[in-house]
Amino acid sequence: MDLERWLDEAVARHRTWTAGFGPYRAHPSLEITDERFAEAFAEFSDRLADNYPFFHPRYAGQMLKPPHPAAMVGYLAAMLVNPNNHALDGGPATARMEREVVEQLAQLFGYHNYLGHLTTSGTMANLEALFVARELHPDKGIAYSDEAHYTHRRMCGLLGVEGHAVPVDELGRMDMQALHRLLGTGRIGTVVATAGTTGLGAIDAVHEVLAVARHYAVRVHVDAAYGGFFALLADDDAAPEGLPSAPWRAIAECDSVVVDPHKHGLQPYGCGAVLFRDPAVGTFFLHDSPYTYFTSDELHLGEISLECSRAGAAAAAAWLTFRLLPPTREGLGQVLAAGRRAALHWADLIDRSDRLRLYQRPELDIVTYFPVGGSLTTLSAVDNAAALVLAEAMADPSDPVFLSTLRVTSQAFGLRAPDLTPDAEGARILRSVLMKPESEFYVEQLHSGVEHFVHQVLSHAL
């Protein structure tokens, strides 16, 4: 796909569309000469260069990657119009696109009669889900695992709801016995299961969470912001990238789910989504806006959302991308499968390494590991070595490797590496996110690069 060609085409088609409404006089207050713009743009371009190469497979740090070129073209084309998907008169075309995109997401999770819309982020999507949880059970708390995204703790505080962190097992998943004990107190109205934690990429046993929650008449919300699109790989027989299907199939019976197309859906920031299995929860969003909802008796997206103004361009970008790479196993699923294969391959390489050790075998596309060798016999030594490897790898002028670290507790570390002396409350480990399918072709370079920097760090320590 020739990105420049289609960006030019988007601009040309916008020019043709606007010409159909007749000429008008531009206001001089908005006029800027090319000379002035050139000066500002030169400075802007220089400052924009101060970024990490998110597009390159050597970047395996945070959950960042470029959107698909189709999403870029779709976003630009709609941004030139600048629709607002809050009300139908603000974005009639992109509002319809949003409904179609949300329908595809609903099919992904097995929702049929549902209520849902796009949001500006997973944080906002989760806020809406927890808002509904509070409205349904105003005197009850919300439970989430110790490994759940920090947004749940924060949003409980924002909503004035009691938040309860549930301990996790040796794989970073919600502990079912601990959940039983908590729900037995009668203090919980909703449990948040995480389908892909942002630290380890661990998948809570959603089917087991659902069974326990239903036993106590408690609702279940699924935070699949990071991992949701991996439902496309739910197949017990599709080795090596296939995932156990039970947790993913159970989402269809859960009360709400959140997913972020701006993570594995190839979209630019910000594009999240929230879906509710029972459309009746829309009553909690009811409000009146006498100057907004006037062009149609159809449901306006702003009537079922906490957010007001939202970029219609986000819906347009997702719509165009999903026309080309639909959220199916044969479409977008192939992109996710490549990242998962890359993570599994790197895990195998680490298993055979004498300089690196797996912290936990990856479930999705996040690899966690730490340096070994020499004097690295304590948590504090591992912590220091991981920090040095990160710094040296990212600062190397000729062949950098971009990683991230994850701080884990001594208790969690002890479950995975009991041979290390727990002389600290926790330690940093190395963490690599292989979101880009190109990572599949670059894993061995990443591995050898990290091994090189571990050797370099240990050599300096001697």
Question: What CATH number is attached to the domain comprising 268?
Answer: 3.40.640.10
Report DSSP state, residue 362.
-
Rounded Cα distance, 120 and 315, in Å = 10
Domain interval for residue 139:
77-289+297-324
Q: Are residues 339 and 452 in the same domain?
A: yes
Q: What are phi and psi of 371, to 5 degrees?
A: -70, 150
Residues 409 and 426: beta-carbon distance below 8 Å = yes
Q: How many CB atoms lie within 10 A of CB 158?
A: 12
Q: Are residues 275 and 133 in the same domain?
A: yes
Closest to 170 in 3D by CA, of 356, 416, 345: 416
Q: Are residues 212 and 342 in the same domain?
A: no
- One DSSP character per residue, 202-265 reads -B--HHHHHHHHHHTT-EEEEE-TTTGGGGGGB-TTSTTT-B-SHHHHGGGGSSEEEE-HHHHT
Residues 6+ apart with CB under 8 A from 110: 249, 251, 252
Rounded Cα distance, 304 and 102, in Å = 13
Rounded Cα distance, 262 and 43, in Å = 28
Is residue 166 assigned to a domain? yes
**CATH number of the domain enclosing 339:** 3.90.1150.170
Q: Are residues 277 and 362 in the same domain?
A: no
Is residue 69 assigned to a domain? no
Report DSSP state, residue 364.
S
Rounded Cα distance, 174 and 29, in Å = 58
Largest CA distance in the chain: 76
Tens-of-pLDDT digits for all 462 residues of the chain?
A: 999 999 999 999 999 999 999 999 999 999 999 999 999 999 999 999 999 999 999 999 999 999 999 999 999 999 999 998 877 778 899 999 999 999 999 999 999 999 999 999 999 999 999 999 999 999 999 999 999 999 999 999 999 999 999 999 999 999 999 999 999 999 999 999 999 999 999 999 999 999 999 999 999 999 999 999 999 999 999 888 899 999 999 999 999 999 999 999 999 999 999 999 999 998 887 755 554 545 555 666 667 788 888 999 999 999 999 999 999 999 999 999 999 999 999 999 999 999 999 999 999 999 999 999 988 999 999 999 999 999 999 999 999 999 999 999 999 999 999 999 999 999 999 999 999 999 999 999 999 999 999 999 998 865
Rounded Cα distance, 349 and 144, in Å = 33
Q: Are residues 320 and 336 in the same domain?
A: no
pTM for this one?
Answer: 0.94
Is residue 284 assigned to a domain? yes
Q: Are residues 123 and 178 in the same domain?
A: yes
Tokens of 25: 């006089």
pLDDT score, position 277: 97
Q: Cα dist. 149→54, 154, 197, 198, 225 in Å?
A: 22, 10, 7, 7, 10
Is residue 217 assigned to a domain? yes
Q: Are residues 233 and 348 in the same domain?
A: no
Q: How many structural domains comprise the chain?
A: 2
Residues 433 and 336: beta-carbon distance below 8 Å = no
- One DSSP character per residue, 306-325 reads S----BHHHHHHHHHHHHHS
Q: Are residues 354 and 320 in the same domain?
A: no
Is residue 60 assigned to a domain? no
Q: Are residues 450 and 305 in the same domain?
A: no
Is residue 406 assigned to a domain? yes
Is residue 307 assigned to a domain? yes
pLDDT score, position 295: 54
Q: Are residues 244 and 119 in the same domain?
A: yes
What residue type is 448 in one-letter code? Answer: S
Residues 6+ apart with CB under 8 A from 175: 145, 166, 167, 168, 169
Q: Are residues 343 and 314 in the same domain?
A: no
pLDDT score, position 291: 45
Task: Give me the residue label for tokens 């970024």.
Answer: 51
Rounded Cα distance, 118 and 114, in Å = 13
Rounded Cα distance, 290 and 388, in Å = 59
Tokens of 117: 């819309």
Alpha-carbon torsion (402, 225, 272, 103), positive or negative? positive
Residues 80 and 73: beta-carbon distance below 8 Å = no
Buried b (16+ CB within 10 A) or exposed e, 197-226: bbbbbbbbbbbbbbebbeebebbbbbbbbb
Q: What helix, strand, coil percent values describe the chain, rounded to 5? A: 45, 15, 40
Q: Are residues 312 and 370 in the same domain?
A: no
Is residue 30 assigned to a domain? no
Supply the angle between the helices 312-324 and 92-109 in degrees, to the nearest 10.
50
pLDDT score, position 289: 54
Residues 422 and 413: beta-carbon distance below 8 Å = yes
What residue type is 339 in one-letter code? Answer: G
